[in-house]
Amino acid sequence: MAIISPSILSADFVNLERDIHVCKDAGAPWIHVDVMDGHFVPNITIGIPVVAALRKVTDLVLDVHLMIDRPIRYVDQFCASGADYLTVHLEADTPENIHQTLKNIRAKGVKAGLSIKPGTPVEALEPYLGECDMILIMTVEPGFGGQSFMGDMMPKLVWLKEKLASVNPECLLQVDGGVDLRTAPVCKEAGANVLVSGSAFFKSQDKAAFVAEVQK
Ligand code: DX5
Ligand code: ZN
């Protein structure tokens, strides 16, 4: 049993409200919101006002993925905007600030997530495992939707699943990038229980069937 979090990066931004309802009607319980700053990643997307606007039109879990430098500067505002999960990148600040950022998110009653890019070794997450509600393993280089799934990230999930079993068994394991009907079973087999899907979800003809299959 897994959770699907459709990424609205692949939605029609002119019709965002309609597409949020498309996700809900298909049975998706979460919505993944990709925030990019043009510094941490070479792309710029959306920010705090859009998260706040989405909050007004949906009761789905808002899963906000911050691909921004020094997120500590903005997490309070993202929490206030209605995020349910707020995920930051380990590479985006100093270890001291990352610890503080996770603490700040949780202090607002929001679930804290921590992510690593494909090039970052999974062991780098170890000092933070007790401070997170979700770990996000990127299976593409963050920045763009529609890239190919990196299957060689799966050992990271296996390693995390084992570590978390003793340290923080409630912590969710999320994957993001290139998840489709072929790669979703591979992720679940490796231990992922939250699967982000952007282009494959929005391109699928039968979205309810897509959701059911990914969540199986
Ligand atoms: C990439 C984003 C992803 C993206 C995934 O930086 O974090 O959430 O939307 O898109 P797909 O599923 O198309 O790889
Ligand atoms: Zn994402």
45 and 9 Cβ atoms separated by less than 8 Å? yes
pLDDT of residue 216: 94
CA distance 177 to 151: 10
Ligand 2 centroid–CA 5 distance in Å is 9
Percent of the chain at pLDDT exceeding 90: 100
Q: Please identify, by atom number, the ligand 1 atom nearest to the C-alpha of residue 143.
A: 6
- Count the alpha carbons within 13 Å of 79 in the hemisphere toward its beta carbon: 20
In this prediction, residue 28 has a pLDDT band, given cuts at 50, 70 and 90, of: very high
47 and 67 Cβ atoms separated by less than 8 Å? no
| Mean pLDDT (whole number) for 158-167 | 98
Q: Is 115 in the pocket of ligand 1 (CB under 6 A)?
A: no
pLDDT digits (tens, 9 = 90+) for 33-90: 999 999 999 999 999 999 999 999 999 999 999 999 999 999 999 999 999 999 999 9
Residues with active-site annotation = 34, 176
Q: Ligand 1: which residue has its CA nearest to atom 10?
A: 145
| Mean pLDDT (whole number) for 159-173 | 98
Phi and psi, residue 108, nearest 5°: -90, 5
Phi and psi, residue 107, nearest 5°: -65, -20
